[in-house]
């Protein structure tokens, strides 16, 4: 059974939509952060699919750089979330509406 480009793009679009919906609906910053990462993974799936079906390695190179930046982003993002939790005692978005204090 051959899996075509359309199936990969549909999977990528569904993952991106789930991530986007999670960012819009959820109130917990950790869950929002995970949904943002899901959106990033969806874009990398699309890049790899295009790369595979075009017969080039351009998409794979982009994915390598995206995953490298994402690893640094995870470290910084989780550090910010932990700092917010220590300062405010919560990670709920509606509680974190002011930049001071």
Tell me the C-alpha to C-alpha distance, in Å, between residue 42 and each of 22, 39, 46, 49, 87.
14, 5, 6, 11, 33
pLDDT per residue as tens digits for the range 23-80: 999 988 889 999 999 999 999 999 999 999 998 888 889 899 988 988 898 899 899 8
Lowest mean pLDDT among 39-43, 81-85, 93-97: 93-97
Strand partners, 28: 92
Q: Supply the pTM of this predicted model.
A: 0.83
Per-residue pLDDT at 50 = 92
Which one-letter DSSP state was computed for residue 93?
Answer: G
| Most confident residue range from 12-21, 51-60, 82-91 | 12-21
Domains annotated for the chain, with CATH where assigned, are 5-95 (1.10.287.3510)
**pLDDT the model gives residue 98:** 67
What is the residue-wise DSSP string for 37-68? Answer: HHHHHHHHHHHHHHHHHHT-SHHHHHHHHHHH
């Amino acid at each position: 059974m051959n899996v075509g480009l359309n199936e990969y793009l549909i999977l990528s679009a569904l993952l991106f939509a789930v991530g986007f919906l999670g960012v819009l609906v959820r109130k917990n910053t950790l869950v929002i952060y995970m949904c943002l990462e899901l959106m990033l993974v969806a874009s990398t799936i699309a890049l790899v699919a295009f790369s595979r079906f075009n017969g080039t390695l351009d998409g794979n190179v982009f994915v390598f750089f995206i995953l490298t930046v994402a690893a640094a982003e995870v470290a910084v993002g989780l550090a910010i979330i932990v700092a917010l939790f220590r300062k405010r005692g919560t990670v709920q978005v509606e509680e974190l509406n002011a930049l001071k204090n």
